[in-house]
Amino acid sequence: MTDARLRHGRLSLALSFFVQGVTFALLVTRIPAIQDRYGISDALLPAFLAAVPVLAGVGSVITEKLVARVRPGVVLRWAQPVVLLSLLGAGAGGEVWQLGIALAAFGLSVGALDASMNMLGVSLQRAYGRSIMLGFHAAYSLGGIAGASLAWAGAHWDLSLLVSYLPVVAVLLPAALIGSRWYADADDDRRGTERSAGAAGESVAGKSVAFKLLLPLCLVMAFAYIGDSTVSNWSAKYLQDVLGSSEELATVPYNAYMVTTLLGRAVGDLGVRRFGPVAVVRCGSLLAGAGFAVVASASGAWMGILGFTMLGLGLCVIVPQTFAAAGRLFPAASDTAVARLNIFNYVGFLIGSPLVGALGDVWSYRGAMLVPMVMVLVTLVYARSFGTEQDRYGGGHERPRTVDVG
C-alpha cells in the first residue's frame, strides 16, 4: 500500500469519526426535545434510550459476521449514511412508532459503524507502525463538541428537530460518501484469506480469539464507558443538587469534560509513542480515579468542575488504546476482537447512568461517585494487557516498520 493511499485513508477515516461525533451529539443532546415532540412519558423514555445501545450491540455482532465476507470499509461506507438518515427520521416523524423505527435503525447501524471504524483504525495503525488511534478518537470528540454546539443553537433559537437536523445531514451525508472513496484497509490481503475461508464454511478469525484473553480489555472498556456515562448524565445534576451551583454553572462540567477529552486525545498518540501504551493507560486511569475522588469530596462547584476536568484528561486515552490493544493481542483476527470488544462499549453505557442514579437515591450521590472511581482504577490491574514488548508503536518502544507516511 502506497504512502499516499495511507495518508488519504487516515484523513477519510478521521472524517468518519468526526461525522459520527456530530451525529451522536445531535441525538443525545436533544433528547428532551424528542421526548416533547413524540409525547413520550418519563416512564417510557428509558426503554427507548436503552434500546439504542442494545441494538448497537447486535449491530456489532452482525458486523463481525459481515467482515468475514466484505471489507470493513464497505460496511462503514453504507452504515454511516443509515445513521445520518436515522437521525433525520427521528426529527421528522410525528408518531411514536416512527421514532421507534428511526431509533432501531440508528442503533443497529451505529453498532456496525463503531465496529467497522475501529477495525479500519486498528489496521491503519498497524500499517503506520505507531500510535494513531487516539487521533481518530480526537476527531470524534471534536465532532461531539460541534454537534453539541449545533444542538445548543437549535434549542436557543427554538428550532424544530427537522430544521436543526436537515442542514447538518445535507452537508455531512455527501461528505461522508465522498470521503469513503479513500478508505484504506491495510489488512486487505489477510482479510481476503479470511473471506475465502468463510466462503468455504470455515471460521478462521473466530477460532483464534480466545475470550479469556480478551476479557480484561472487555472489562476495561465497560468500566471506561461507565465513567463516561456518569459524567454525561450526572455532572449537571451533581453540581446543581449536591454542590449548590446555579443552573447555568451546572452546564460547565460536561463542556469542560468534552474539551479536555479532545485535548488529551489530540496529544495522546505522542505519549504512547514516547512511553508506550501501558504507561499512558496507567496514568490515565490514575488521573480519572483522582478526578472521581475530587468530585466526591468537592466542597464547592468549582472544585467539582476541576474533578470533571481531570476525568476528561484521564478517561480519554483508555477507549482508543483498548481497541488498539485488541488489535495487537490478536493480530491475525483483529476484526473479530474489535467487534466483540465494541459490544462492551454499549454494556458500559447501559450500566453507568442507572447504576449511579440508583446508588444516589438509596445512598448518596457523593458515595455513588466512588463506584465508577473504583471501576476505573481496576484498569491498573489489567494495564499489562495494553502492550507487548515487541510492539508498542513509537519512540523508544517503536517496532521496525517499512511504512512511514507522516
pLDDT (tens digit per residue) in 162-219: 999 999 999 999 999 999 999 998 766 555 555 555 454 444 444 478 889 999 999 9
164, 26 Cβ separation under 8 angstroms: yes
Measured distance CA(122)–CA(215) in Å, rounded: 18
Measured distance CA(245)–CA(125) in Å, rounded: 43
213, 331 Cβ separation under 8 angstroms: no
In the prediction, which pLDDT does 335 show?
Answer: 94
In the prediction, which pLDDT does 359 show?
Answer: 93
Chain centre to alpha carbon of residue 96 = 28
Quick one: fold of 209-398? Growth Hormone; Chain: A; (1.20.1250)
- 76: which strand partners? none
Sorted by sequence, the CB contacts under 8 Å of residue 317 that are 6+ apart come out as: 134, 264, 265, 268, 271, 280, 281, 283, 284
Of the candidates 396, 395, 392, which has an alpha carbon nearest to the alpha carbon of residue 125?
A: 392
pLDDT (tens digit per residue) in 96-137: 999 999 999 999 999 999 999 999 999 999 999 999 999 999
Measured distance CA(85)–CA(67) in Å, rounded: 23
185, 120 Cβ separation under 8 angstroms: yes
pLDDT (tens digit per residue) in 138-159: 999 999 999 988 988 888 899 9
pLDDT (tens digit per residue) in 270-286: 999 999 999 999 999 99
Q: What b/e readout covers 55-80, taking b as 16+ CB neighbours within 10 angstroms?
A: bbbbbbbbbbebbbeebbbbbbbebb
Q: What is the pTM of this model?
A: 0.89
**Fold: same for 1-185 and 209-398:** yes
Measured distance CA(55)–CA(385) in Å, rounded: 28
Residue 331 has a CB neighbour count (10 Å cut-off) of 15
Q: Delimit the domains of the chain by residue range.
A: 1-185, 209-398
Task: Select the more confidently predicted residue: 31 or 220.
Answer: 220
Of the candidates 292, 291, 303, 307, which has an alpha carbon nearest to the alpha carbon of residue 245?
A: 303
Of the candidates 198, 181, 209, which has an alpha carbon nearest to the alpha carbon of residue 68?
A: 198
Name the CATH superfamily housing domain 1-185. MFS general substrate transporter like domains (1.20.1250.20)
